[in-house]
Amino acid sequence: MKFATLPNGTLDGHLVVVSKDLSKAVDASAIAPNLLSAVQNWHKNESELQALYEQLNAGKRQDAFDFDPSRCCAPLPRSPQWLDASAFLNHGKLMEEAFNTDPIADFDKIPVMYQGASDDFQGPTVDIPMPKEADGIDFEGEFGVVMAEVPMMASVEETAKAIRLIVQINDWSLRALGPREMNSGFGFLQAKPSSSFAPVAVTPDELGEAWKNGRVNMSLHVTWNGQRFGEPHGSEMNFSFPELMVHAARSRKLTAGCILGSGTVSNKSRDAGSACIAERRVIEKIDLGEIQTQFMKFGDRVRMEAMFDDGSVGPFGVIEQKVVANLVKSQ
């Protein structure tokens, strides 16, 4: 199934089911008012939502309308938790070089993960206000999962069964603020503004063979101001999503609707390019001896779209956003 969320003045938005080819949508709020509610009550709602999806795909819904991603909010405009890992070892090791930080102990054996803001997720095409260009504005292309409730100390068998939806994410980052926050030991806070999401959240079966080993085996095509930036592949994730969820649930319950991100998709092969600027910069430093690429300027645009290995477009739709200066509102 494919889901999207339209604005309706509430914090959770309004649920629609989207057709397999992303061309049509239909109101699903008679089954669940919003996607968070659908995930919270999955076993109650699943068969009705599936029936609606099949009717929509078969052209049998008189109430279907053209699906317009530019109207969409994030699939979950708010979520109980946003947990973001750094599960691509290649990215993590390059970033250690970039920030000149000590190697993280057992980085390949124990996931690293922080909690970010989950109360103000951005839709796929809205302009993104940022405080200052000097903060080092960067994008980070990621995949993520939306989960059912996961009890504290859940096993990997339990977490694997708790994955409800797959999502595609732009985890906005402010690179000038990251090193100080990492050095403090308290981790990222100012360095991580609210993340953006592609318009469509999908059940794992929509990925077919591309959902295997608990990973999204698709490439994430990133362009910056219309120029190709990279298309790293999700298969090189060092930990599976179920393994990352076990880490997250070690000492806390994860309530239904929590989102866990992979961290920047990154591949060993230089041919794949990158899904964030910071990674390209450190590659330039290593390969060329100097950093050539600067971070984003106000007015810059980033586009992200996942693709299947056969070259067909992925199911999440497109993130396409412009960075703008935040206007301070005096109160």
Which of the ranges 62-70, 182-190, 226-234, 295-303 carries the binding residues for its own copies, by CB under 8 A? 182-190
Residue environment code for 32-56, b if the CB has 16+ CB neighbours within 10 A, otherwise e: bbbbbbbbbebeebeeebeebbebb
Binding mask 139-168 for its own copies (x = CB under 8 A): ------------xxx----x--x-------
Position 193 contacts its own copies (CB under 8 A): yes
Q: Where are the beta strands (DSSP E) in the chain?
A: 2-6, 14-18, 24-27, 65-66, 82-85, 113-116, 128-130, 137-138, 141-147, 163-170, 173-174, 196-197, 201-202, 211-212, 215-216, 219-224, 227-230, 259-261, 301-307, 319-325
Identify the residue among 9, 60, 63, 105 touching its own copies (CB under 8 A): 105
Identify the residue among 7, 8, 110, 208 touching its own copies (CB under 8 A): 110
Q: H/E element holding 282?
A: helix 277-288
Residue 264 phi, psi (nearest 5):
-50, 125
Sole residue written with tokens 């806390």: 252
Position 185 contacts its own copies (CB under 8 A): yes
Nearest to 45 by CA among 30, 27, 26, 23: 30
Position 186 contacts its own copies (CB under 8 A): yes
Q: Which is nearer to its own copies, 124 or 193 (CB)?
A: 193
Nearest to 247 by CA among 121, 111, 137: 111
Position 104 contacts its own copies (CB under 8 A): yes
Position 188 contacts its own copies (CB under 8 A): yes
Q: Which is nearer to its own copies, 33 or 129 (CB)?
A: 129
Sole residue written with tokens 């067909």: 312
Q: Which is nearer to its own copies, 13 or 317 (CB)?
A: 13
Query: Quick one: tokens of 195?
Result: 């993340």
Min dist CB 57 to its own copies, Å, is 32
Min dist CB 276 to its own copies, Å, is 16
Min dist CB 79 to its own copies, Å, is 9
Taking each helix axis from N to C terminus, what angle separates 89-99 and 277-288, rounded to the nearest 10 degrees?
A: 70
Q: Which is nearer to its own copies, 159 or 219 (CB)?
A: 159
Position 93 contacts its own copies (CB under 8 A): no
Position 174 contacts its own copies (CB under 8 A): yes
Tell me the site size for its own copies, rule CB under 8 A: 60
Render 38-72 in DSSP notation, one character per residue.
HHHTHHHHHHHHHHHHHHHHTT--TT-EE--GGG-
Nearest to 248 by CA among 78, 84, 104: 84
Which of the ranges 19-27, 53-61, 201-209, 242-250 carries the binding residues for its own copies, by CB under 8 A? 242-250
The conformation of residue 113, written as its DSSP 8-state character, comes to E
Identify the residue among 33, 126, 156, 187 touching its own copies (CB under 8 A): 187
Scan residues 13-72 and list those touching its own copies (CB under 8 A): none
Q: Which is nearer to its own copies, 26 or 248 (CB)?
A: 248
Which stretches of the chain bind its own copies, using CB under 8 A? Answer: 11, 78, 80-81, 83, 86, 101-102, 104-105, 107, 110, 112-120, 129-131, 135, 151-153, 158, 161, 174, 177, 180-194, 247-248, 250-255, 258, 326, 328-329, 331
